[in-house]
Amino acid sequence: MRCHRPFVGATVALFAGLAITSTQAMATPCTNLQSLQLQHTVINSATDNDSGTFVAPGNPPITGLPPFCRIVATLIPTSDSSIKIEVWLPKSGWNGRFLGTGGGGFQGVISYASLANGLKGGFAATNSDLGTGSSGCNPLFCGSNGNMGNPLAIQFGDPAAPSTGLFGHPERIKDFGYRAIHLMTERGKEIVNAFYGQRAQGAYFAGCSTGGQNALMEAQRFPNDYDGILAGAPAFNRTHLHMAGLFSWQNAHASPGRFIQAGQMTLVNQAVLKQCVGRDGGAPSDQFLNDPRDCRFDPKVLLCTGGKVPPACLTSDQVTTMQKYYGGTVDPVNGQLINPGSQRGNETDDLLALGLAFQERLPEPAFDGLFYWVFGPSFGYPSSPVNFSNFDFHHDIKKVDDVLADVLNATSTDLSEFRGHGGKLLMYHGWADPLIPSQSSINYFNALVGNEGRGVQQAGFFPGGGGNPALRQTQSYARLFMVPGMYHCSGGPGPNTFDALTPLMTWVETGTPPETILATKFVADTPPAVQMTRPLCVFPKVPKYNGSGNANNAASFTCVVHDDEFNQTPAPKYGP
C-alpha cells in the first residue's frame, strides 16, 4: 500500500480530485475528441498532456509520464446517474491493449495512480468513480453519522455532518455494484477506437478490493468485456463482508474492557509468530506466516497472570475479543457463520492496514455506509430500532440482503461464458489481510471448483493437487495465488510486490498459464534494495522452505500441495 507497484492493486485510501487543465487553442487528435458523440455520455474535456507530470489536488505530483491524451467524461445511463470516468491514451508507444482499472472502498474518486501505472505500461487505461462521487462518497465513507469530532475519522475523510450515501438512489447503487465498470469499459473502448483508428488487440482488467469485486462482477455479468481479469483481495461477498465490519466494531465495543489497547495487536502478533512460524512450511526466520491455516494459536496464552497487567498481556475480556476476531461473524441464534474470521498472523497496530486497530478507534464502524443505503439516516442513531451499535446478526441480515445482495454480491460461480470465449481469471490475496479475510478468496475459488465438479468431488480438498478433474478444469481458466505476509492489497511484513498482470497477459496471449509468480520484499518497502524474494504458488500449492539455503531467496522454496487444511466457510446461504 505504500510502495510503487504497477498492476498489483489499488489502495483503499486513495483520495484524489479532478485536475482541470486548459484546452489548447489549436485542435489536435486529442482535443478533437471533445466533440465525440457516445451514448449517454458527456465528454467534459479532452486535453493533451506532454509535461510528464500530472497533479491532482491534494496529492503529490505523478511524474515520469509519457505524453498522453486525457479524456474526462460523465456517463448518465439513468436520470439519477452521474458516473465519472477518465481515459488516458498514450500518444506514442501504445502496446495495443486496453486496461480497465478498479479502485477501493466506496470509491467516489478517480484512482489516478492506477491510470498512471497503466499509462507507463503502454496501455490505454481507464478508471471510474463508480458513480458514488455524485453522493459525496469517498473510499472509506458513503453514509455516516458524521465524524463526531473523532480525530481519526476526520483524518480519514469522514464528513463532519451526517450523510446517507446512496439511500433513496437505487440506480446509483446499481452503478456502484456493476454498471459503472461495464459502461466505463464500453465507452473507454469506443474512445480508444476513435483516437487510434483501430480496436485494442486485447482487453484486460486489474483491480484489488472493490476493484477485485469489480473484476469478478465483470467475469460473471459481462463475460465478453475482457480477455484477462486480475482480481486482488476481492470484496465479492460485499453485504456479508460489511456485516463483518459491524461485527468487529461491536465486538471491540461490547464493554470498555473488550477494547484492544494500542500496542496489543503487535503483542498478539509476536505470540502468534513465536508459536507458528516455521511450522507452516515457511522458514524459521520468517516474520510472517507462510500458511496461517496451519496455526492454531489461542489468545488465552496471553491471559494476564500474577502481577502482569495490560498492555503487556490480555485480560479475559480482551481474550474474548481476539477469539471472536478469529472466529468470524456468527449468527448468535443458530451459530451459522456469516463471514470468515481473520487469519492468525494479520494482527497489526498499523492504522493504515485498516484492520481492528483502525476499526475500533472510530466512533462508528468503518464501511458501515452500506447500511445507511438500506436503513437511511436512522442507522446512525443509537435510539433507532436498527443502528450500528445494535444491528442484529440474526434478524437484520435478511433486510440488507433483500435490498442489496443481488446488486452488490459477485458470488456467481458459473463462469462458463467467460471461459467459453477464452477468458482467463487470475486472483490473488494476502494471507495477512486485516480487512478482507484471506479465506474468502479461497472459498470463492473452491466454489468454482465445486461448480465444475458437482458430483465429482467436494470442493476444498485436492488430493495430489492434480488428480482432481474439476480442479484441472477450473485452473484452465481461473487461478489463485495466496501471498504470505501481505496486508490488504499491499504492504505487510512479507514479499508484497509482484507483477501479476504480465503473467495474465502471457496466459491469455500464448496459452501458457502461470505456475508461480515471483514476489519481492524491498527494504522498508522502498525499491531498489531487496530484502527477500519468494515464489507465489498456484493454489492449492503453497511455498515450502527446502530446509537449507538462503531463506530470503525464492530458490530455497518449492511449491507443494497442502491436502488437509481447514477452510472456514460461511453457511451456504451466506457463501461462498
Q: Report, in this order, helix, strand and coil percent for the chain, each rounded to 5.
A: 30, 15, 50
Least confident of 9-23, 160-174, 193-207, 515-529: 9-23
Whether domain 31-239+410-521 has CATH 3.10.105.10: the reply is no
- The per-residue pLDDT for 355 is 96
Grid coordinates standing for 275?
A: 508459536
Amino acid at residue number 416: S
> Looking at 488, 490, 525, 556, which residue is catalytic?
488
Grid coordinates standing for 63?
A: 511524474
pTM: 0.93
Q: How far apart are CA 241 and CA 283, in angstroms?
A: 32
Number of Cβ within 10 Å of residue 378's Cβ equals: 13
216, 113 Cβ separation under 8 angstroms: no
The per-residue pLDDT of the chain, averaged, comes to: 93
Burial bucket for residue 304 (CB in 10 Å: 0-12, 13-18, 19+): middle
Q: How far apart are CA 487 and CA 352, in angstroms?
A: 10
209 included as an active-site residue: yes
- Three-point CA angle 352, 52, 191, nearest 5°: 90
- The per-residue pLDDT for 184 is 98
> Roughly how many angstroms between the first and final C-alpha of the chain, as a whole number?
27
> Looking at 82, 111, 209, 441, which residue is catalytic?
209
Grid coordinates standing for 328?
A: 468470524
Whether a cis peptide bond, with omega within 30° of 0, leads into 377 is: no
Residue 20 has pLDDT above 80, yes or no: no
- 112, 104, 11, 110: which is closest to 68 by C-alpha? 112
Dihedral sign for Cα 41, 42, 46, 52, please: negative
- 346, 324, 341: which is closest to 268 by C-alpha? 346
User: Per this entry, what is the length of the chain?
Assistant: 576
For cell 492454531, the residue is 296
99, 185 Cβ separation under 8 angstroms: no
50 included as an active-site residue: no
**Percent of the chain surpassing pLDDT 70:** 93
- 68, 205, 224: which is closest to 128 by C-alpha? 205
Number of Cβ within 10 Å of residue 413's Cβ equals: 20
Farthest-apart Cα atoms in the chain, separation: 80
Phi, psi at 128, each rounded to 5°: -140, 155
Of the pLDDT bands very low, low, confident and very high (cuts 50, 70, 90), residue 565 is confident
Grid coordinates standing for 149?
A: 469530532
562 included as an active-site residue: no
- The per-residue pLDDT for 562 is 76
Query: How many angstroms from the chain centroid is the CA of residue 339?
Result: 16
Least confident of 302-316, 386-400, 441-455: 441-455
Number of Cβ within 10 Å of residue 256's Cβ equals: 7
Query: How many angstroms from the chain centroid is the CA of residue 204?
Result: 17
- The per-residue pLDDT for 57 is 80
- 103, 151, 142: which is closest to 126 by C-alpha? 103
Grid coordinates standing for 499?
A: 507483477
> Looking at 48, 291, 396, 433, which residue is catalytic?
433
Dihedral sign for Cα 268, 274, 279, 282, please: positive
Grid coordinates standing for 113?
A: 495512480
Number of Cβ within 10 Å of residue 381's Cβ equals: 12
Q: For residue range 269-309, what is the model confidence (pLDDT) as tens digits?
A: 999 999 999 999 999 999 999 999 999 999 999 999 999 99
For cell 468513480, the residue is 129
Q: Which helix (H) or strand (E) holds 330?
A: strand 329-330
Q: For residue range 322-354, what is the model confidence (pLDDT) as tens digits?
A: 999 999 999 999 999 999 999 999 999 999 999
Phi, psi at 191, each rounded to 5°: -65, -40
Q: Which helix (H) or strand (E) holds 187?
A: helix 180-196
Q: Which helix (H) or strand (E) holds 541?
A: strand 541-545
DSSP conformational letter for 33 = G
- The per-residue pLDDT for 453 is 84
- The per-residue pLDDT for 216 is 98
Q: How far apart are CA 19 and CA 66, in angstroms?
A: 17
- The per-residue pLDDT for 456 is 47
Residue 357 has pLDDT above 70, yes or no: yes
Q: How far apart are CA 145 and CA 388, in angstroms?
A: 10
Region 144-155: mean pLDDT is 96
Of the pLDDT bands very low, low, confident and very high (cuts 50, 70, 90), residue 462 is very low
Q: For residue range 113-136, what is the model confidence (pLDDT) as tens digits?
A: 999 999 999 999 999 999 999 999
Of the pLDDT bands very low, low, confident and very high (cuts 50, 70, 90), residue 424 is very high
Per residue, what are the HEC states of 292-329? HHHCCCCHHHHECCCCCCCCCCECHHHHHHHHHHHHCE
Q: How far apart are CA 57 and CA 367, in angstroms?
A: 24
- 72, 110, 64, 113: which is closest to 89 by C-alpha? 72
Q: How far apart are CA 512 and CA 535, in angstroms?
A: 18
- 252, 273, 270, 247: which is closest to 318 by C-alpha? 252
- Three-point CA angle 468, 471, 472, nearest 5°: 90
